[in-house]
A and B are shown apart, each in its own frame.
Chain A
Amino acid sequence: MSNLRRTMLFCPASNPKLLFTAMIYKPDCILFDLEDSVAYKDKIASRDLLVEALKSVDYKGCEVFARINSLDGEFGEEDVRELVKAGLRKIRLPMCESKLDVRTLAELLDEVEEKNNIENGSVKIQCSLETPKGVHHSLSIATASKRVISISFGAEDFTRTLGVNRTKNGVELAYARGLIVLNASIAGVDAIDTVYADIADVEGFLAEVKNAKAIGFAGKSCVHPSQIPLVHDIYSPSEEEIEWAIKILKASQAANINEGGVILVEGKMVDIPVIEKAKRVLKLAQVTIENGGIDE
């Protein structure tokens, strides 16, 4: 089962305070940005700050990603070399438009891992789909390398490229979101929804997160810590869902069908996909059951 990626807190790496404080808000993932939110003159200093933070800060179990600069530009390759050497194992590739983009990064990672005696394949990739072209190629991108663990949607550049405005109801994003979620599911990776920039509009944010969860996104990019508990609440299963998941897990363990087969629980058919779903419910609820071996 993959890690929970309900929340991905966006933090400019140029802000030293955030490098030390991001984890206190308990997001599932932290995304330190070296790309758009960092001014050209601060690119190298910000990378240095992040490198030092990676070496010294305990992120308390939060999954740490870094959004690197474009590999076509003057900073991207060095971002990868320095950050991986410092311990980073999750990279977000910006403006990803084709499987070639992914493979270029994957090949660079092969080289960097070998050079630093890091097990091959340790560094994972999240591909950021920010253009119609990237969204269109989401399946080939998500399957371009075993390193790809998730794809994320960036609506700001997407709407800009498409020449439309972002609206509250998000109608302009509906097709792209649906496509990303379907392709992520086919590829077996997580799909992370775009940011909601209006921090003060809690109602709008909640509506968008509920929608993202309903259509299958594994999580939401957050621009402010205040958004984290809201997302976690929405992604938390109800008490009924938790109770049902526990029943399924206990019954499946008793019947020993984790390798395959079908059982009946309260008259309902339970097979492997249902068991996997139940495990995810308990993971989301941060509930474990004894002897179940699901405390991964």
Chain B
Amino acid sequence: MSNESGREIPKSIYGYGKTTCYAGPFSTIPTGEKVSVRNACSFPGQQKKLGSVKEAIQRVNLKDGMAISFHHHLRNGDEVMNLVLNEIAELGIKNITIHVSSLSSAHEPLIEHIRNGVVTDISTSGLRGTLGKLQSKENILGRPVVFRTHGGRARAIEEGNIKIDVAFIAAACCDDMGNMNGIEGPSAFGAMGYPIVDAQYADSVVAITDNLQPFPIWNISIPMTLVDYVVEVDNIGDSNKIASGATRVTNNPTDLLIAENAAKVLIALGCIKNGFSFQAGSGGPSLAVCKFLRSYMEKNEIVGSFAAGGVTGYLVDMLRDGLFKVLLDTQTFDARAVRSLKENANHVEMSASMYANPHNKSCTAHQLDVMILSATEIDESFNLNSITGSTGMIMGALGGAPDTAAGSKITVVVAPTMRKRIPIVVEKVTNIATPGETIDILVTERGICVNPRRMELRKKLNETDLEVLSIQELRKNVEKLTGKPEKIKYTDEIVGVIEYRDGTVLDLIYRVDE
């Protein structure tokens, strides 16, 4: 059967189960109740500190076939997931499901655990590097990886689609009763947005820290009320790869040009006014948009309401300089932003559920006026791909893009028209990560395209000197320079299921035929 985005979705998928087709961004209304958690009790004099990760695994009674979770705030410096999996492997435990907020190149040791049968199932927001290639080319897992958005993961945990037996939570700071934060210590990484939800719903919670403090610490992101055990280790991660340095605005002239055009679009549409709210991804043109908006806001004495999402040093400076009143942070991107989260009361930590779970009574993503996204591909229906590359290989992530695109009043995609002579604007994206009906405007270095669903925006932009053209026209212009890319050949083996944020199936990733 065909879903709302025109993708054929089988009724049931091996290794995934029954499917529900994506029906539109807000078409699937949940019923019933969220899951409840197992009861517990505590006693005076209770000790939670254990001698090792191995002991923790034994004490929580982890068995074959159980599901464990991790978070990826330690990014490329993460050593906790590998440490835990090595211990699980040593104990001879097999058939483990991993629910991780995302995977990066730091997690390549996972390949060995998959080959040895320790890990047999993965749900994540993204898959990069060799692991992505192996799943795409070999179906190394033997079943599809389930890709969920940040909001979708929180929803799935709360609705019971994901059942976590044990959550292993890396903490930059933790006291001996399990109160945790991510902002103090040698491995500080900032907000703990993702594991806040894990801690609330997992049957058992193990805090792993390299900065154990006596009870009580006073900055608490995850409280001891949710934590079973605490383990001290030498290192939770490589601090050089966690949150080093400052995020800098790009010097790439094409990115700057795109960013300047995006800022002009937002200004022309009247979005940049007192009280507006905003989110932009890190790096590339997204951050550069902030630079151009900043100068406009300063010149016109505009103060925004809040900026959200992955927080960078650049947004921190805007908060400090009074250009935004509040930062809402679920994932902190650099060292300056980590410091700000610790020191500035208006820099507020939020859970992934508060950030973007659509099945809450409200979420931050739905309060956004403007969202800036980037993409690896965008097609003539404005569908966005951020998960597979031009070769069909899994190499990216969904992140919070589908959540914020659906929630914000205006969603602008900033992207170059080509990368290394490969066109970004295509007839049909390889995979849909964010549905086109939630994307409003594409800004490139060769012109601006408005989704025909938003003709009122196009009308406004036509009154400016910005170069507005149809996305079909833009694609043809680009293909004149790049040629039409060859179609990727696939087998009929499904190696990835892309869930929309509401749990319906948006698209499928097939094994690349080489």
Chain A residues in the interface with B (C-beta under 8 A) = 16-17, 20-21, 24-25, 56-57, 224-226
Q: How far is the CB of A188 from chain B (nearest CB, A)?
A: 32
A21 touches B480 (CB 8 A): no
Q: How far is the CA of A225 from the CA of B257 in the complex (A)?
A: 9
Chain A to chain B contacts (Cβ below 8 Å), 21 pairs: A16-B421, A17-B421, A20-B418, A20-B481, A21-B254, A21-B445, A24-B254, A24-B257, A24-B445, A24-B446, A25-B253, A25-B257, A56-B480, A56-B481, A57-B481, A224-B253, A225-B253, A225-B257, A226-B251, A226-B253, A226-B256
Q: How far is the CA of A57 from the CA of B445 in the complex (A)?
A: 15
Q: How far is the CB of A160 from chain B (nearest CB, A)?
A: 29
Within 8 A of A (CB), among B440-456: 445-446
How many residues of B are in contact with the other chain, CB < 8 A? Answer: 11
Interface of chain A: mostly helix, strand, loop or mixed:
helix
Q: How far is the CA of A101 from the CA of B418 in the complex (A)?
A: 41
A24 contact set on B, CB distance < 8 A:
254, 257, 445-446
A21 contact set on B, CB distance < 8 A:
254, 445
Q: How far is the CA of A24 from the CA of B418 in the complex (A)?
A: 13
A25 contact set on B, CB distance < 8 A:
253, 257
Q: How far is the CB of B128 from chain A (nearest CB, A)?
A: 25
B251-282 to A contact mask, C-beta < 8 Å, 1/0 = 10110110000000000000000000000000
A17 contact set on B, CB distance < 8 A:
421
Q: How far is the CA of A24 from the CA of B445 in the complex (A)?
A: 6
Q: How far is the CB of B368 from chain A (nearest CB, A)?
A: 29
Chain B residues in the interface with A (C-beta under 8 A) = 251, 253-254, 256-257, 418, 421, 445-446, 480-481
- Give the 9 A-B CB pairs with smallest separation, nearest first: A225-B253, A24-B445, A20-B481, A226-B253, A24-B446, A24-B257, A25-B253, A25-B257, A56-B480
Q: Pick from A17, A24, A57, A225 the residue with the most CB of B within 10 Å.
A: A24
A224 contact set on B, CB distance < 8 A:
253
B481 contact set on A, CB distance < 8 A:
20, 56-57
Q: Pick from A16, A20, A224 the residue with the most CB of B within 10 Å.
A: A20
Name the CB-closest residue of A to B251: A226
A20 contact set on B, CB distance < 8 A:
418, 481
B480 contact set on A, CB distance < 8 A:
56
Q: How far is the CB of B420 from chain A (nearest CB, A)?
A: 8
A226 contact set on B, CB distance < 8 A:
251, 253, 256
B418 contact set on A, CB distance < 8 A:
20
Name the CB-closest residue of B to A16: B421
B253 contact set on A, CB distance < 8 A:
25, 224-226
Q: How far is the CA of A16 from the CA of B468 in the complex (A)?
A: 26
A57 contact set on B, CB distance < 8 A:
481
B256 contact set on A, CB distance < 8 A:
226
Q: How far is the CA of A40 from the CA of B253 in the complex (A)?
A: 28
Q: How far is the CA of A17 from the CA of B446 in the complex (A)?
A: 14
A20-B481, A24-B254, A24-B445 given; 18 more Cβ-contact pairs under 8 Å: A16-B421, A17-B421, A20-B418, A21-B254, A21-B445, A24-B257, A24-B446, A25-B253, A25-B257, A56-B480, A56-B481, A57-B481, A224-B253, A225-B253, A225-B257, A226-B251, A226-B253, A226-B256
Q: How far is the CA of A226 from the CA of B288 in the complex (A)?
A: 14
Q: How far is the CB of A60 from chain B (nearest CB, A)?
A: 9
Q: How far is the CA of A56 from the CA of B477 in the complex (A)?
A: 11
A225 contact set on B, CB distance < 8 A:
253, 257
Q: How far is the CA of A24 from the CA of B481 in the complex (A)?
A: 13
Q: How far is the CB of B480 from chain A (nearest CB, A)?
A: 7
Name the CB-closest residue of A to B477: A58
B421 contact set on A, CB distance < 8 A:
16-17
Q: How far is the CA of A225 from the CA of B445 in the complex (A)?
A: 13
Q: How far is the CA of A51 from the CA of B21 in the complex (A)?
A: 51
Q: How far is the CB of A65 from chain B (nearest CB, A)?
A: 20
Q: How far is the CB of B483 from chain A (nearest CB, A)?
A: 11
Q: How far is the CA of A227 from the CA of B256 in the complex (A)?
A: 12
Q: How far is the CB of B184 from chain A (nearest CB, A)?
A: 36
Name the CB-closest residue of A to B478: A20
B251 contact set on A, CB distance < 8 A:
226
Q: How far is the CB of B285 from chain A (nearest CB, A)?
A: 13
Q: How far is the CA of A21 from the CA of B252 in the complex (A)?
A: 13
